[in-house]
Structure 1
Amino acid sequence: MTVDVWGYLDEYHEERAEILEAVDEVFASGRLILGAEVTRFENDFAGYHDVPHCVSVDNGTNAIVLALRALGVGPGDEVITVANTAAPTVVAIDAVGAKAVFADVDPDTYLMDVASLPGLISSRTRCVLVVHLYGQCVEMKPVLRVARANDLVVLEDCAQSHGARHHGRTCGTMGDAAAFSFYPTKVLGAYGDGGAVLSADATTDAALRRLRYYGMEDRYFVERLPGHNSRLDEVQAAILVRKLRRLDTYVARRRHIAERYADGLRDTDLVLPTVAPGNDHVYYLYVVRHPDRDRIIEEMARHSVRLNVSYRWPVHTMTGFRSLGYGAGSLPRTEKAAEGIFSLPMFPSLTDAAQDRVIEGLRKVLSAGG
C-alpha cells in the first residue's frame, strides 16, 4: 500500500458522523448562504485567536486579495514578500494592481530574511506581506519595527500556520490583518475551499465585509467599489466549526510525527527542519533538504512512498511573473533552497507504522547513495 504525502480518508472515517451531522444541519436550516454557521465559525475562529474580528471568505487567495484592499493597498503600490511561497500569495498582490518586491530568505528556516527589509523599501512600498511558511512564524518584532517606522501595513499570510505561536503570540494576531486558507490539506482544512481574514480594527472589518459581498453595506445596495463575491459556504463553515475544536489535537499529532522523523533520521545526511527561536512549529509540512533530492524522490516512489516538493520553482522564476524583473541568481538563498527541499508525509492520521515505512525507506535510499 502506498504512503501518500497527504491524505484525509482515515481522518474522515473517524470524524464522519460529526461531519455528516454538520452537513445535515445546514441543509435542514433553510439558510444556505451567510447563515448561522458562518457567523458561528467567524466568532469561534476570532475567539480562538483572541481577536475581535473575523471575516470568512471563499478561499485563501481571496483572503489575501480582500485583506490587501481593506488595508488600502492598490495600483502602483509595492508589497514586500518572499518568492518561496505558493504562487497565490503573489497572484493576490497582482490582483489588486500592486507589485511584489521579493526579500531573500534565511537559509536554515526558509523564512523571510527580515534584516533585508530596510533595503527593499521605496517610496511606493505600502505593505510587508510575511509568509509564515511550513508551520512556523517569521520573526515579527523587527518586521513591525521597520513597518511602523516607514508607515507600512503588515499582512500575515497564515495559510500554512494555523495554531502556531511566536513568543507566545498566536499566528495571525501580530500584524494589521492576517489571511488564512482552509484548503483541505491545511492544518485546519475544510472539505473544499475556504478562507478568512482576522483583524483587530473595526474599520478593516467593515471594509472586508463590504468587499466580500459586492461592495454592499445593505442587501442589494452597493455602497462603493470594488466588490467581490467571496463568501464562505455554510456547509464548509459548519464543518470548520467542528474541526476547529480539534485543531490543537491535530497540531499535537503533527508535532508527534515530527519528533519521530527527527529521532529516526537525525543520523542521516538529510538536513532536517530548523525551528526559529521563540516559535512553536505546527508542521504543516515536514521539509527536509538533500542535494540528491530528485533521485531520492524517484527511489522512494519505488518503495511506494510519495514525497513532494513545496516549492520546486520560486515565484520569481516563473514565466508568468517575468514582468517583475527578477532573473536567475537574484535571490540566491531562495534558489539554492529550492534545489534541494522536499516534504515527507505529514498529516494527523498518518500512522506510526506508515511513518516507519517512510523512515526505513529513506534510510535505505540514503545509504545506497547515487
Structure 2
Amino acid sequence: MTGKATRAEDLGIDVAEVEDALQRNRGLPPHTYYDPNVYEFEAKAIFSNSWQYFAPLDQLSTEGDVVAGLVGNSSVVVTRAKDGELHGFLNICRHRGYPVVEKEQSRCRVLRCAYHSWSYDLTGNLVGAPDTESETHFDKSDSSLFPVAVDTWGSLVFVNPDPNAAPLRVTHPHMTQWVAEEGLDDSSDRYTYRVGLEVNQGSNWKLWQDNNYECYHCLTLHSESLSKAFATKDGDYSLRYTDRMTISHYKGFEPENSDDLSGGDQLVLHFFPGCSIVQQNDLMLVLQVIPTGPESCCVRQHYFIDKGVPEDRFNRWVDLYKQTFNEDGEAAEKQQRNLRTNVGGFQFVYKREEHSVRMLAYTWNAYKAALA
C-alpha cells in the first residue's frame, strides 16, 4: 500500500469517494470538521505555508512599531526596524520557547523576553542573553529568531509562516490583474484603520469560511442586515475565480435618502485560506479566519474608513457587518453541533454557482498536495 493511501486512511479519508462527492457538488466528509487529526493535518498542509492577513499597515508604519498575533496556529511578531523594512518572526524565544512579545508596542528598540530577559533587535538577531558569557559552546549568532515571510498589499500586512515563500503577488498573480479589471483599490493611503475585533467562534474554520464565501443564505439569514444594503439574490451578483482566489461583485441598491446604508457596489476578494477583503463606498473590511481547534476558530475583523466619510456613517456600517457576521457565526455553530449527530449519513449539497464549491476545491487540492 502506498504512503499516500496509508496517510489518507489515517485521516479517515477515502480519496476516490471524496473525488466522486466533489464531482457531484457534495462536500468533504463530516468528520473533517471535528477530527483532531484532521485539524493537525490542516494546520501543516494549509496554514503553515499560505499567505494570511495579519495587521493594518497603520500599526506598522513607524520605526519601532511591533505587532504580535496568530497566523494559522503559529505565533508571529512583525516589526518595523531601523532599516525601514518590515521583519517577521515566530514569536518564540530561542532559549525556552516563551513568547518574546505579548502585546502591540511602539517606539520599541529591543524585543525582550519576560522569562529570562533574552533580547533581540528588531531584525531578529539575539543581542542579549544574561549570564551566558562563560558558556564556551554558546554563539549568539546561532540563536536569532526564526523568520517568517512578510508582504503588503495596499494598506494591509500579510504573513506566510514559510520563510521561503514566494511573494504574495507571485503566489496570487491575479491580484494585480483584478485591481485593474475589477476596480479594486490597492493604494496605501485611501483607507484608514479604525476598528479591530477578534471573535472566538465555536465552529470549525471551514464552516465559517463556507458561510463567508457563499450568499445562497443571504436573503434568509441576512434579510435584516447585509441584504438591506446589497442585491444578494442569486443572479444579481457576479463571480470570477482562479487557482486559490475568487472575486465577487455585488450591486448596491439605490438609496431612497442620503442616510440609507446603500448605494455603490461592493467588491469582495477571497483568497484561500480564509481571507476576505471587502471594498465599497465608505469603508474597507478585512477578515481572516484562524483555526484554534478542531471545533473552534477565531475570526479577525478589521474595519477601515474611506476618505471623507463621516464617522457616524462608518460606525453604522460596522454595526451592520457585526450583525451579519454574528448571524453567520450562530449558523456555523448550529451546523457544528449537527455535524456530530449526523455522522455517517450527512453530506453537504451545494449549488453549482455557489462560491463554496470553489472553497472546497481549494481545500481538497491542498489535501491532495500534502497527501502526495
* TM-score, normalisation: structure 1: 0.31
More relative contact order in 1 or in 2 (CA 8 Å, sep 6+)? 1
More helix by share: 1
Please identify which structure carries the higher strand content.
2
Largest Rg, 1 or 2: 2
* TM-score of the two chains, using structure 2 as the length reference: 0.31
